[in-house]
């Protein structure tokens, strides 16, 4: 009886081992339900920015063949996009263990090194990937070459090696003259260099941020715009007004002078306190309807447009600017001409401060990149 039990147990262990530790692959449900089809679909979705659906496709490829190296490379890219460097490394290593010539896994590995702050190692890895493309097992050599060069360009840009980055992105266009990613990268690089030219180190750091916060905007306004000259007095209905003391402070003059009248979500030790205080006192910015400043909230394009409009109205003392475009048709498919932000958007877009997009949209709810914020303020200062 005991012998039979052990025999069954051994057979079960052998079965599980043969199935990859219990991770049994599934049977294809169609002739087009294949690892290659799912992988290519995943790559296309990833390029469109549809990360969750791309992950699903890579998982489908893996479920059909758990030794299919491209699936792990795709999952590594997804993990990298999500900021999980450890998981990305695990998947890229797995891909190369299964197929040492799957060069796209090396491209991901280069990006991982860059994310870890190892720019030198990342550059070497990306260059190695480019060199190995011709002898790789990747069927589409042109696409692999493009991906490797794009990665190297991004790594150069992160390392602030801008001339090398621009040259590398230009090489992508030589390989694929219609590559939108390279074209966009070159334009972004030019905008970035324009934004940081002559800027103090602190503002250069803002330029690298994907989105700016209300605190960042307060800093930019206080440092870059002539608030003292334009906003001599805060407008009526200002957010910071007189608040009677809650206790008798007779004989406590010093503590009264030190008391700071700031929104409750801007503590005394907040890093941007003095900047926020200035823009509120001058009326260049206001608190939100709940009475708070929300210093860490990201600013969208519509809100930034209203801030720009407000500044221009005060600078030129032109109240008609606030209603100039009421009743006119909207040129943007995603901005109705009855929207409260319509006039502000038209003011900034017609002056090319915050232009619309090539597809006829303004994308009012999109965040404002640090590079764009600096260039917008630079353009505004040039018009003053």
What's 40's domain CATH number?
1.25.40.10
- Mark whether 213 and 190 lie in a shared domain: no
Pick the closest to residue 230 from 381, 374, 351, 376 (CA basis). Answer: 381
Tokens of 54: 């791309």
Which pLDDT score is estimated for 291?
Answer: 94
- Mark whether 229 and 180 lie in a shared domain: no
pLDDT at 242 over 50: no
pLDDT at 2 over 70: no
Mean pLDDT for 309-337 is: 94
Pick the closest to residue 103 from 132, 72, 143, 79 (CA basis). Answer: 132
The three-state secondary structure class of 78 is: helix
- Mark whether 128 and 230 lie in a shared domain: no
- Mark whether 173 and 221 lie in a shared domain: no
Tokens of 363: 């994308």
Report the domain count for the chain: 2
pLDDT at 284 over 70: yes
Domain's final residue, options 166, 196, 226: 196
Pick the closest to residue 149 from 168, 165, 133, 164 (CA basis). Answer: 168
202 pLDDT band, cuts 50/70/90, is confident
Find how far residue 144's CA is from the centre of its chain.
24
Rounded-to-integer distance, Cα 142 and Cα 321, Å: 52
Mean pLDDT for 8-37 is: 68
- Mark whether 187 and 54 lie in a shared domain: yes
Structural domain including 310 reads 202-239+262-383
- Mark whether 182 and 285 lie in a shared domain: no
- Mark whether 179 and 274 lie in a shared domain: no
- DSSP line for 195-218: HHTT--HHHHHHHT-SS-BHHHHH
**Crossing angle (nearest 10°) for helices 69-81 and 103-115:** 20
- Supply φ then ψ for residue 80, to 5 degrees: -65, -45
- Mark whether 85 and 168 lie in a shared domain: yes
- Mark whether 234 and 166 lie in a shared domain: no
**Helix (H) and strand (E) counts in the chain:** 18, 0
Tokens 């051994």 -> residue: 10
Given a contact cutoff of 8 angstroms between Cβ atoms, the answer to whether 148 and 130 are in contact is yes
Does the pTM exceed 0.85? Answer: no
pLDDT at 116 over 80: yes
**Crossing angle (nearest 10°) for helices 141-158 and 103-115:** 10
Which pLDDT score is estimated for 309?
Answer: 95
- Mark whether 279 and 137 lie in a shared domain: no
The DSSP symbol for 367 reads B
Q: 144-158, 162-176, 248-262, 267-281: which range is least confident on average? A: 248-262
Given a contact cutoff of 8 angstroms between Cβ atoms, the answer to whether 230 and 221 are in contact is no
């Amino acid at each position: 009886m005991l012998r039979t039990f052990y025999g069954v147990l051994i057979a079960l262990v052998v079965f599980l081992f043969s199935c990859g530790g219990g991770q049994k692959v599934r049977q294809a449900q169609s002739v087009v339900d294949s690892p290659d089809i799912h992988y290519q679909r995943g790559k296309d979705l990833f390029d469109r920015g549809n990360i969750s659906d791309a992950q699903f496709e890579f998982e489908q490829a893996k479920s059909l063949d758990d030794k299919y190296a491209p699936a792990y490379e795709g999952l590594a890219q997804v993990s990298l996009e999500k900021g999980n460097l450890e998981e990305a490394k695990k998947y890229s290593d797995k891909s190369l263990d299964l197929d040492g010539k799957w060069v796209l896994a090396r491209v991901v590995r280069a990006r991982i090194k860059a994310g870890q702050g190892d720019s030198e190692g990342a550059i070497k890895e990306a260059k190695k990937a480019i060199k190995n493309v011709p002898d790789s097992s990747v069927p589409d050599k042109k696409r692999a070459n493009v991906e490797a060069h794009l990665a190297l360009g991004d790594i150069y840009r992160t390392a602030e090696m801008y001339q090398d980055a621009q040259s590398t992105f230009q090489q992508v266009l030589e390989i694929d003259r219609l590559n939108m990613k390279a074209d966009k990268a070159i334009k972004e690089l030019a905008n970035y260099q324009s934004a940081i030219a002559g800027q103090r180190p602190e503002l250069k750091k803002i330029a690298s941020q994907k989105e700016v916060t209300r605190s960042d905007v307060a800093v930019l306004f206080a440092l870059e715009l002539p608030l003292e000259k334009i906003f001599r007095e805060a407008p009526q209905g200002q957010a910071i007004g007189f608040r009677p003391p809650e206790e008798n402070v007779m004989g406590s003059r010093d503590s009264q002078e030190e008391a700071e009248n700031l929104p409750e979500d801007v503590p005394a030790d907040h890093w941007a306190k003095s900047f926020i205080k200035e823009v509120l006192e001058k009326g260049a910015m206001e608190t939100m309807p709940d009475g708070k400043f929300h210093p860490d909230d990201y600013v969208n394009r519509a809100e930034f447009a209203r801030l720009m409009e407000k500044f221009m109205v005060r600078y030129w003392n032109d109240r008609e600017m606030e209603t100039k475009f009421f009743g006119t048709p909207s040129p943007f498919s995603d901005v109705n001409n009855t929207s409260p932000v319509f006039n502000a958007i038209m003011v900034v877009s017609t002056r090319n401060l915050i232009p619309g997009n090539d597809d006829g949209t303004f994308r009012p709810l999109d965040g404002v990149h640090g590079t764009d914020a600096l260039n917008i303020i630079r353009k505004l200062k040039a018009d003053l």
